[in-house]
Amino acid sequence: MEKRTAIVTGGTRGMGRAISLELAEKGYRVCAVYRSDDESARKLEHELQKMSRESFVCRADVSKQDTAQKIAGQVWELWGRIDVLVNNAGIFDFCYIEDMSEEYLDHILNVNFKSQFFMMKSVIPYMKELGGGRIVNASSISGHFADCGLTGYGASKAAVNMLTRIGAGELGPWGITVNAYAPGIIHTDMTHEMISERGDEQVKDLCLQRFGSPEDVAALVSFLASEEAGYITGEIIGIDGGMFKVQNASRAYSRVKQENQ
């Protein structure tokens, strides 16, 4: 069979880097798209090509519709197929309503939502021609649970959830599945400061009492991109260590300590 191909936006750092490497290790040709960090991109490309010689990185701002179309067109022209789109590009930032400028709101919606919309729209014609495909979007626990200071971020991820569900409905007739992964607190460069400041308290809300790794997310995304996930669509799948699933999760750990004394 011809090698399957994947586009991963935000694909050179954090969760995106782990996803790109996971897919390359599974035999995909990967186009990892990034926006600004050239050093991380060079390092990733070197690693990718050890596993998949045809894989490459591409610098682009996919929050622009014409750029998203160019990326999809370039991959199709190069490889003749687009099997998987992972919409991982995103930013995380706190800003209270009273402090939020129009420019700030536009920026976070552009990066977190419009980039996913434009990339999805851009790959649809190619996936239809191919006869199917997998679209996997980056949501967040904040798309469902409200959090003070995260109006912009939370709204952008709630929009991604709706895009995912509606996309699943509209694209089902062509064999294209659309799902989203909704991370809780994953330890990356983007969350390192937050974890350092208040991680000791936040971890108590997790059933598993540990923060996630980029590799945890990559494993889920790899499955959603696979043939085995062909009957899963329209789902927003949490990958959050059981965050907020039950009150006082830390009590179970306290009991274990008492039993072991």
Q: Which residues are catalytic?
A: 153
Sign of CA dihedral 188, 74, 72, 3: negative
- Which residues sit opposite 34 in a β-bridge? 59
Contacts of 187 (CB under 8 A, 6+ apart): 195, 211, 212, 213, 214
In contact, 167 and 178? CB cutoff 8 Å:
yes
Q: Cα Rg for the chain, rounded, in angstroms?
A: 19
What DSSP line would sit under 189-246, residue for residue?
TTTHHHHHHHHHHHGGG-TT-S-B-HHHHHHHHHHHTSGGGTT--S-EEEESTTTTSS
In the structure encoding, which two tokens stand for residue 172, read together?
């089902």
CB 224 within 8 A of CB 134: yes
Strands (E), 50-156: 56-59, 84-87, 133-138
**Residue 22, both tokens:** 């996971």
